[in-house]
Structure 1
Amino acid sequence: MPVHSRARWSRVVAAAAAALLGIAGCASSIRPVAPPPGVSTGTACGTVTLAVNPWVGFHANVAVVSYLAKHELGCTVVEKELTEEESWAALARGEVDAILENWGHDDLKKRYIDQEKAAVEHGVTGNKGVIGWYVPPWMVEEYPDITDWRNLNKYAELFRTPKSGGKGQFLDGDPSYVTNDEALVRNLKLDFKVVYAGSEEALIQAFRRAEQRRQPLIGYFYAPQWFLSEVELVHVKLPTYVPGCDADPKTVACDYQPYDLDKIANRRFALSGSPAAELIKNFQWTDADQNTVARYITVDKMTREQAAAKWLDANPKVWQGWLPRR
């Protein structure tokens, strides 16, 4: 991927591009709202490049930040579909300016922030990240003790599938997600095999089908995630997380760490004075906000542009506080 250009567009071209994008990509009636006193509208923005990781919560963040950058700041926004690790590497090379939802990754922070000094932490998103093992609600009604990992082998036969090779199936989502599940199965001596659904959407469909048809299923899931308001998946208790218990990915035998999700920026971009850098640093919302936009994208089948416009139209008091100030 080539390093993006930092060419400065004139305000006329930027405004025209933003208007065309709004017409083509957004069915909402939203129009740019006049910013409150003190908010800057005159600083040139240029191009900002955002990583887009493969889960809809991340897409919701990108949708809203991208819309504001284009329509309120006059930026040209480039969005690059990348995995988590690809995003960090591209950011360090200067090919990406920001990652809008980072789940921990202490190893990557050590390399790119502490050692190479190519990246910086750029503020929290306001979202609380929870990863874990889950089963559909009907299984807890039928097998109340299944939420204790020490009882899983007793039920392993229930979870067998043609893909699990005689063991119980444990379902993961996108293969690019960084998970501990294979190590947990091995280190906790569970009679299960990790199988990949292939994507976030496939994982959601599997859990939805399991609840509707009362089919056994155990798998990886996380919050914030809009689907949990549709099906209240039940968390299986693994050995309690304590700091450092997951330091060695090969020997991890504890639950996942809870996260205060944050943003990561290319160091040069963060210090550039770009209004987009300030917008991204100020961007902070709730799990409910993110889930609302994610549901627009996933359930209502809106484009990211349309979903962002609808949410922004309803929440001006939230996002006006993110805009750069003089």
Structure 2
Amino acid sequence: MVMKSKVLGLAVASFVLAAPLIAEVESNDPIRLTLHDWSGQLINTKIMGAILQQAGYNVEFVQADYIAQFAGLKTGDLHVAMEIWETTGREALDEATATGQVVNVGETGMSAIEEWWYPMYMKERCPGLPDWQALKDCAEEFATLETAPMGRYVGGPVTWGGFDEERVEALELDFEVVHAGTDAALFAELESAYQRQDPIILWIYVPHWAPAKYDGEFVEFPPYSAECYSDPSVGVNPEMAYDCGKPRGPIWKAAWAGVQEKWPGAYDIIANYTVNNDEMSAMVAKADLEGVDIDDVVASWMTDNKDRWSGWVGQ
């Protein structure tokens, strides 16, 4: 996994929820939930924080790197991570849980896709799509002035991992990987290109509003297998690993192993908590497309779903 920065220290400004305590809890020490750099994760984590606060727990949000956060989860400096994607985070999650210092708290209820995606007007310029092999013949259709004659692939922020450079090399694609600096910048690239019908192929993920707003398709790479990532002899290129698509599957919750002992009630709430792709995509659209503040999106969800989360709290 790519690891570009260390977990930010607890001196980083963290937001503490303010709400009346309504229950006795096992410890008043703050439960530290990690925040990352995409809207869905911020919404998901702040909903979880709001529920824990309503249950009487002291909650802090701490900005942390997606992959590097596992260092803090192992030591107990960080306590809960609400979105570990099967697509990009499973390797790091498995390594962390194998130490016994981190536990997988179960699925969030969301199912993840993260893959190369192109708007449908690009299929007219590269008619062999969505088959990945079409990219071998028409990479130049995706070129920009900066990358020509190489195609340009806009990847997610480098902290997301994903092995795009390795995939380009293993599949011998004439593409230059250019990473967006932030989640917002990634989708600004899409909006700008889409409006002008400019060439673009980029990292898109689900749950998200983009596949519903824009007409397009995911590239169909050779099917993922764990062996494809670990054994060069497996796959279409017998000399290199990562010669396949990204995995797909659940989005997981992870926690410091000490959470269950120190805050057993909170652990049960976290384990019970679920949302689905459709409701998360709708909330992300509220924030990203309608400009609704994330805290207001969370507050609306809490109001609309009180009976649901109250059952998780056990009221």
* Fold match (TM-score > 0.5): yes
CA contact (8 A) 1:3 1:94 kept: no
Q: Offset of 1:324 from its aligned partner?
A: 3.9
Query: What's the CA shift string for 1:211-242, capped at 9, x where partnerless?
Result: 22111111222111122221143111111223
- Report which stretch shifted further, 205-214 or 122-131: 205-214
CA contact (8 A) 1:238 1:255 kept: yes
Q: Offset of 1:151 from its aligned partner?
A: 1.2
CA contact (8 A) 2:140 2:148 kept: no
CA contact (8 A) 1:52 1:59 kept: yes
Go from structure 1 to structure 2 and tell me whether the alpha carbon gap of 1:201 and 1:233 turns closer, same or farther (over 3 Å shift): farther
Equivalent residues in 2 for 1:48-59 (5 A)?
Answer: 48-59=31-42
Specify the SS of the correspondent of 1:312. helix
Query: What's the CA shift string for 1:22-54, capped at 9, x where partnerless?
Result: xxxxxxxxxx9xxxxxxx933355211001122
Q: TM-score, normalised by structure 2?
A: 0.85
- Report which stretch shifted further, 238-247 or 126-135: 238-247
In the alignment, is residue 235 of structure 1 matched against residue 218 of structure 2?
yes
Whichever residue aligns with residue 296 of structure 1, its letter is K
Cα distance between partner residues in 1 of 2:295 and 2:34 = 16
Query: What's the CA shift string for 1:117-155, capped at 9, x where partnerless?
Result: 111111110010111111012222454323211111222
Q: TM-score, normalised by structure 1?
A: 0.82
Partner of 2:60: 78
Partner of 1:269: 259
Whichever residue aligns with residue 306 of structure 2, its letter is P
Query: What's the CA shift string for 1:53-74, capped at 9, x where partnerless?
Result: 222121121121112222x123
4+ residue runs of structure 1 moved beyond 6 angstroms?
Answer: none
In the alignment, is residue 124 of structure 1 matched against residue 131 of structure 2?
no
Match of 2:70 among 83, 88, 96: 88
Larger radius of gyration: 1
Match of 2:276 among 268, 283, 286: 286
Partner of 1:305: 295
In the alignment, is residue 176 of structure 1 matched against residue 166 of structure 2?
no
Whichever residue aligns with residue 177 of structure 1, its letter is W
Go from structure 1 to structure 2 and tell me whether the alpha carbon gap of 1:110 and 1:57 turns closer, same or farther (over 3 Å shift): same
CA contact (8 A) 1:164 1:195 kept: no
Go from structure 1 to structure 2 and tell me whether the alpha carbon gap of 1:194 and 1:317 turns closer, same or farther (over 3 Å shift): same
Specify the SS of the correspondent of 2:228. coil
CA contact (8 A) 1:63 1:307 kept: no
Q: Offset of 1:83 from its aligned partner?
A: 1.4
Specify the SS of the correspondent of 1:245. helix
Specify the SS of the correspondent of 2:173. coil
Cα distance between partner residues in 1 of 2:94 and 2:83 = 17
Match of 1:314 among 271, 289, 304: 304
In the alignment, is residue 101 of structure 1 matched against residue 102 of structure 2?
no
CA contact (8 A) 2:27 2:263 kept: no
Specify the SS of the correspondent of 2:218. strand
CA contact (8 A) 1:67 1:305 kept: no
Give the unaligned 5+ runs of structure 2.
1-7, 233-239
In the alignment, is residue 323 of structure 1 matched against residue 305 of structure 2?
no
CA contact (8 A) 1:136 1:210 kept: no
Cα distance between partner residues in 1 of 2:27 and 2:208 = 32
Cα distance between partner residues in 2 of 1:44 and 1:298 = 37
Q: Offset of 1:299 from its aligned partner?
A: 2.4
Equivalent residues in 2 for 1:131-280 (5 A)?
Answer: 131-164=114-147, 166-247=149-230, 251-280=241-270
Specify the SS of the correspondent of 2:204. strand
CA contact (8 A) 1:45 1:274 kept: no
Partner of 2:285: 295
Specify the SS of the correspondent of 2:157. coil
Cα distance between partner residues in 2 of 1:48 and 1:254 = 39
Q: Offset of 1:88 from its aligned partner?
A: 0.7
- Report which stretch shifted further, 271-280 or 230-239: 271-280
Cα distance between partner residues in 1 of 2:9 and 2:163 = 33
CA contact (8 A) 1:136 1:231 kept: yes
Cα distance between partner residues in 2 of 1:241 and 1:159 = 24
Cα distance between partner residues in 2 of 1:193 and 1:3 = 37
Cα distance between partner residues in 2 of 1:274 and 1:310 = 27
Identity %: 24
Whichever residue aligns with residue 176 of structure 2, its letter is K
Go from structure 1 to structure 2 and tell me whether the alpha carbon gap of 1:2 and 1:156 turns closer, same or farther (over 3 Å shift): closer
